[in-house]
Amino acid sequence: MSSRESAYERKLFGFGAVINEYWNDEMRRKIALDYDADKKIFIRAKSISGLFTLLLSVIALVLLMVVRENLMTAGVYISLIIAFSRLIHTLSWQLSDLLKEHTKKRLYLEDLSRFERLEELPGSDSVPDRRILDMPFESLVFDHVSFTYPQSDREVLHDFCLAVYPGKQYAFVGRNGCGKSTVIKLLTGLYNDYSGRILLNGRDIRSLSAAEIKAYFAVVYQDYGKYQLPAREQLQLGNASLADPEIAALLEQTGLAQKVGSLPLGADAPLGKLEPGSADLSEGQWQRLTLARSFGRQAKLLVLDEPAAALDALAESRIYRIIRDIGARRCTTTLYVTHRLAAARSADEIILMKDGRIIEQGTHAALLARDSYYAQMFNTQRKWYLRGQVAKA
Binding segment (CB under 8 A) for other proteins, from list 35-43, 102-110, 112-120, 138-146: 35-43
Distance between CA atoms of 182 and 114, rounded to whole angstroms?
Answer: 29
- Residues 321 to 380 in contact with other proteins, rule: CB under 8 A: 339-343, 345-346, 377-378, 380
Binding segment (CB under 8 A) for other proteins, from list 64-72, 112-120, 135-143, 328-336: 64-72
Q: How do the residues of the chain divide into helix, strand and coil, expressed in percent and rounded to 5?
A: 55, 15, 30
Which of 105, 104, 110, 100 shows the shortest CA–CA distance to 38? 100
Our CA dihedral for 221, 223, 229, 232, rounded to 10 degrees, sits at 30
Binding segment (CB under 8 A) for other proteins, from list 112-120, 138-146, 244-252, 274-282: 274-282
Phi, psi for 98 (deg, rounded to 5): -65, -40
Q: How many CB atoms lie within 10 A of CB 58?
A: 10
Q: How far is the CB of 338 from other proteins (least distance, A)?
A: 10
Which of 147, 157, 160 shows the shortest CA–CA distance to 195? 147
Give alpha helix (H) positions in 118-256.
180-187, 210-216, 231-238, 244-253
Q: Residue 28 or 206: which CB sits closer to other proteins?
A: 28
309 binds other proteins, rule: CB under 8 A: yes
- Residues 119 to 178 in contact with other proteins, rule: CB under 8 A: 124-128, 174-177
Partner residues linked to 164 by β-bridges: 140
Q: How far is the CB of 4 from other proteins (least distance, A)?
A: 4
- Residues 69 to 88 in contact with other proteins, rule: CB under 8 A: 70, 73-75, 77-79, 81-82, 85
350 within 8 A of 364, measured Cβ to Cβ = yes
Binding segment (CB under 8 A) for other proteins, from list 106-114, 192-200, 279-287, 328-336: 279-287
- Residues 196 to 235 in contact with other proteins, rule: CB under 8 A: 211, 214, 217, 219, 221-225, 227-228
- Residues 234 to 273 in contact with other proteins, rule: CB under 8 A: 237-238, 259, 262, 272-273
**Total number of residues that touch other proteins (CB under 8 A):** 125
Q: How far is the CB of 381 from other proteins (least distance, A)?
A: 4
Which of 316, 266, 246 shows the shortest CA–CA distance to 287? 316
Q: Residue 322 or 341: which CB sits closer to other proteins?
A: 341
Q: How far is the CB of 196 from other proteins (least distance, A)?
A: 23
147 within 8 A of 155, measured Cβ to Cβ = yes
Length of the chain, in residues: 393
Distance between CA atoms of 393 and 381, rounded to whole angstroms?
Answer: 17
267 within 8 A of 292, measured Cβ to Cβ = no
Among 212, 306, 349, 360, binds other proteins (CB under 8 A): 306
Among 87, 109, 274, 369, binds other proteins (CB under 8 A): 274
